[in-house]
Amino acid sequence: MPSRSTLVEFVVYSGLLLVCGCGGRGQELGMRVTWTGAHATALREALGLTRARFSEKAGIALSTVRKWRALGDDITLSDKCVEIMVTMLDRATPEQRTRFAEATNALSHAHADTVEAQWLPGVWTTTTCGVAASLTREDLMFDRRRLNRALLGVVVGVQLLEPLERWLAETSMSTAPGRSRLGVGTPEITALENAARIFRAWDDQYGGGLRRKAVIGQIAEVNDLLGVQHPAEVRARLAGVMAQLAETAAMMSWDSGEQYRAQHYYALAVRAAREAEDRAFCAVVLAGMARQLLSLHRATDALEIIRLAQDYGAGYLTPRCEAMLYSREAWAYAKLDRTTAFRRTCDKAHSALAEADRMPDPHWITYFDASELTGTIGGRLLELARREPRFAGEAAENIAQAVALRDPARRRSAALDQLNMAEARMIEGEVEEACRVGHAALAVVEQTASDRVAKKLVRVYNRTEEFVKVRAVADLRERMRPLVAARA
């Protein structure tokens, strides 16, 4: 074992985990990562230990273990604690090492998703047509570059918020001059709008970006049409189609694990929605951008963008849109452990949704119904329950409502609901019920290629390790194992 004076690091490479000191051969093979609270928590979960049991086996205070879980990447372990972690890892089984390697790979990618990132040149300074042309050309024609750049990461902090807020506050936008040739008529635009709706419905149903390139090709086609001179009304409708297609491309890219690409399509959607003079849809797209940041544990940035969306859309939002924005705001508060603000904002979301039937909604917000709201709240309570198990029962109640109300055709959402329910029941100690729900969830999981579902599946699989000696859990894990291996 390295001495206490040596900074011990671990290296993940090709699914194997190597432990070495600085200057060791292992660091030449993979990415060097200093032990943080997030990595210690990943080790505990890979070993299948509760915080109390982990504390006991490691000889480390329970309060310290809890602090590691709460602070994650924001805390670095001392040399002494690193030595303890390395010793525990050295004594782990091959299966536990594999789980830890998968978890640390995910942490490494999440870290890569939030550092040294920059916008595609001209995102906020050139025309919408220029942004669309650059983004789709790069995405469709340079696959190898796309795979590499997917890991460069999303833009966060001041580099994200300042240009976005400044651009939204501008009183005018630059647009392409337009070529002089015959444009499109109303039937063609209607057909394009219908195609955008179909692609959106496909993503909502299946997830996983299965038709992502078809959507990107459609964006390129609409962008070509936007380069032609049109009356203002026609141009606004075309820009609206561009906005909807770009938002769908963003969701598909995110659900395929391409965070960098997703953020840039969200930016394109924001631009196009503003050019279409559709403040409400622009606010919805900003909320999507915030949701992506929440998944990357950038809650403070997400909260700022949600507030930008609420301000920009003020006076143009239906109650259903307002409810959705409140739900994202509550999500951010939960991530920040501000439970009082979380509950207050959840109440606002419920109140707004109760008023939703008093006016018609655009098709792109009708997905946000009672099942979506209760599922979102239940998921956030589940996140709180991972730190404080007393929230598990309330989480399960909300998720159960979502499961009962959810349209089964929305397979990705249904799979996430049921996997969340299984985890909530596990935390409660209701193991048999968790297994029953888990088997039902797997039937839905098999029908979606969603990266978000895959990550949730791995989390639930790791959670079951604590109850592996229970026969029902062993049977569930046996069924889960090939799905987890296929999506690792």
**Within-domain flag for 203:** yes
Band of residue 33 on the pLDDT scale cut at 50, 70, 90: very low
Chain segment 364-390, per-residue pLDDT in tens: 999 999 999 999 999 999 999 988 999
What is the distance between the alpha carbons of residues 167 and 403, in angstroms, rounded to a whole number? 40
Same domain, 152 and 62: no
Q: Is the pLDDT of residue 31 over 50?
A: no
User: Do 405 and 436 contact (CB within 8 A), yes or no?
Assistant: no
Alpha carbon 62 to its chain's center: 30
**Residue 62, domain extent:** 8-112
CA distances to 21, 286, 388, 408 from 115, rounded to whole Å, are 24, 21, 30, 38
Amino acid at 426: M
pLDDT of res. 379: 96
Return the CATH number at 31.
Answer: 1.10.260
Strand order in the sheet with 31-34: 16-21, 8-13, 31-34
**Within-domain flag for 34:** yes
- Strands, E, within 15-106: which ranges? 16-21, 31-34
Global pTM reads 0.74
pLDDT of res. 137: 82
User: Do 190 and 240 contact (CB within 8 A), yes or no?
Assistant: no
Last residue of a domain, one of 79, 112, 145: 112
Band of residue 120 on the pLDDT scale cut at 50, 70, 90: low
User: Do 358 and 319 contact (CB within 8 A), yes or no?
Assistant: yes
Last residue of a domain, one of 112, 133, 162: 112
**Within-domain flag for 108:** yes
Show Cβ contacts of residue 152 under 8 Å, excluding neighbours closer than 6 positions. 112, 116, 117, 260
Same domain, 65 and 187: no
Mean pLDDT computed over 243-250: 96
**Within-domain flag for 393:** no
Q: Is the pLDDT of residue 115 over 80?
A: no
**Within-domain flag for 394:** no
Same domain, 143 and 35: no
**What sign does the CA torsion over 203, 208, 214, 219 have?**
positive
Same domain, 150 and 58: no
- Ordered DSSP codes for 158-200: HHHHHHHHHHHH-S-------BSS----HHHHHHHHHHHHHHH
**Within-domain flag for 45:** yes
Band of residue 130 on the pLDDT scale cut at 50, 70, 90: confident
pLDDT of res. 157: 84
Mean pLDDT computed over 64-88: 82
Q: Is the pLDDT of residue 141 over 60?
A: yes
pLDDT of res. 279: 97
Pinpoint the alpha helices (H) of 72-185: 79-90, 94-112, 128-141, 143-149, 158-169
Band of residue 29 on the pLDDT scale cut at 50, 70, 90: very low
Q: Is the pLDDT of residue 27 over 60?
A: no
Q: Is the pLDDT of residue 87 over 90?
A: no
Same domain, 191 and 260: yes
Same domain, 124 and 209: yes
Q: Which of 290, 384, 287, 395 has the alpha carbon at shortest distance from 335? A: 384
Same domain, 64 and 80: yes
Same domain, 159 and 266: yes
Amino acid at 68: W
Band of residue 202 on the pLDDT scale cut at 50, 70, 90: confident
Mean pLDDT computed over 305-309: 97
- Strands, E, within 209-280: which ranges? none
Same domain, 56 and 179: no
**Within-domain flag for 204:** yes
Number of domains in the chain: 2
What is the distance between the alpha carbons of residues 67 and 136, in angstroms, rounded to a whole number? 44
Last residue of a domain, one of 112, 140, 158: 112
Band of residue 21 on the pLDDT scale cut at 50, 70, 90: very low
What is the distance between the alpha carbons of residues 393 and 400, in angstroms, rounded to a whole number? 10
pLDDT of res. 174: 55
Band of residue 487 on the pLDDT scale cut at 50, 70, 90: low
Mean pLDDT computed over 460-486: 90
Same domain, 101 and 186: no
Same domain, 198 and 239: yes
Q: Is the pLDDT of residue 212 over 70?
A: yes
**Within-domain flag for 181:** yes
Q: Is the pLDDT of residue 208 over 80?
A: no
Same domain, 54 and 158: no
Neighbour-count burial of 404, counting CB atoms closer than 10 A to its CB (0-12 exposed, 13-18 middle, 19+ buried): exposed
Q: Which of 26-35, 72-81, 464-473 has the lowest mean pLDDT?
A: 26-35
Band of residue 193 on the pLDDT scale cut at 50, 70, 90: very high
